[in-house]
């Protein structure tokens, strides 16, 4: 997996810094966050520097539930959703790509969870992220 680019603890990821890093994929960033703000106004976004990974991550939550983690990588961004096994049926029945379904079914377990990571490169990635958000918010 590509290394994150926001590694300076003293440089908070402002909009200007974010867009300078993700370049042409700023369009996908805008689409993703316009959707989130409209469809889920109760979600909260918090940037924080994590010393263990030596980078800034955006954590998106609803109350105490983490919906996804976002990091910037060279020329784009990625989001990672973590699901318990209870979400497997919903994931397999969803409209997400077969590649992402495989990432979940064949992925490594971290205690009781498995991750699905989307690296944003095309419009379809937004549709996959929307579907995964819906699953994350609906599966208990």
Q: List pLDDT tens digits, range 109-119.
A: 888 999 999 99
Nearest to 57 by CA among 40, 28, 77: 77
Q: List pLDDT tens digits, range 93-130.
A: 999 999 999 999 999 888 899 999 999 999 999 999 99
> What are the residue ranges spanned by the domains of the chain?
15-138
**SS (HEC) of 75-94:** CEEEEEEEEEHHHHHHHHHC
pLDDT band at 3 (very low <50, low <70, confident <90, very high): confident
Q: What is the pLDDT, as a whole number, of residue 124?
A: 97
* DSSP per position, 8-65: -TTS---HHHHHHHHGGGHHHHHHHHHHHHHH-TT-EEEEEEETTTTEEEEEEEETTE
Mean local confidence (pLDDT), 64-78: 96
Q: What is the pLDDT, as a whole number, of residue 2?
A: 79
Query: How far is Cα 128 from Cα 75, in angstroms, rounded to an integer?
Result: 20
Mean local confidence (pLDDT), 22-50: 97
pLDDT at 1 over 80: no
Q: Could you say which architecture CATH assigns to the domain 15-138?
A: Alpha-Beta Complex (3.90)
């Amino acid at each position: 997996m590509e290394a994150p680019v926001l590694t300076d603890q003293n440089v908070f990821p402002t909009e200007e810094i974010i867009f300078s890093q993700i370049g042409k994929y700023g369009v996908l960033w805008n689409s993703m966050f316009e959707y989130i703000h409209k469809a889920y106004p109760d979600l909260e976004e918090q940037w924080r520097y994590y010393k263990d990974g030596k980078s800034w991550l955006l954590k998106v939550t609803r109350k105490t539930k983490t919906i996804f983690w976002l990091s910037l990588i060279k020329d784009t961004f990625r989001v990672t959703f973590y699901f318990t096994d209870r979400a497997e049926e919903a994931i397999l029945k969803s409209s997400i790509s077969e590649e992402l379904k495989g990432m979940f079914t064949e992925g490594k377990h971290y205690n009781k969870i498995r991750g699905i990571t989307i690296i944003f490169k095309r419009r379809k990635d937004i549709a996959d992220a929307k579907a995964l958000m819906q699953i994350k918010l609906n599966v208990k």
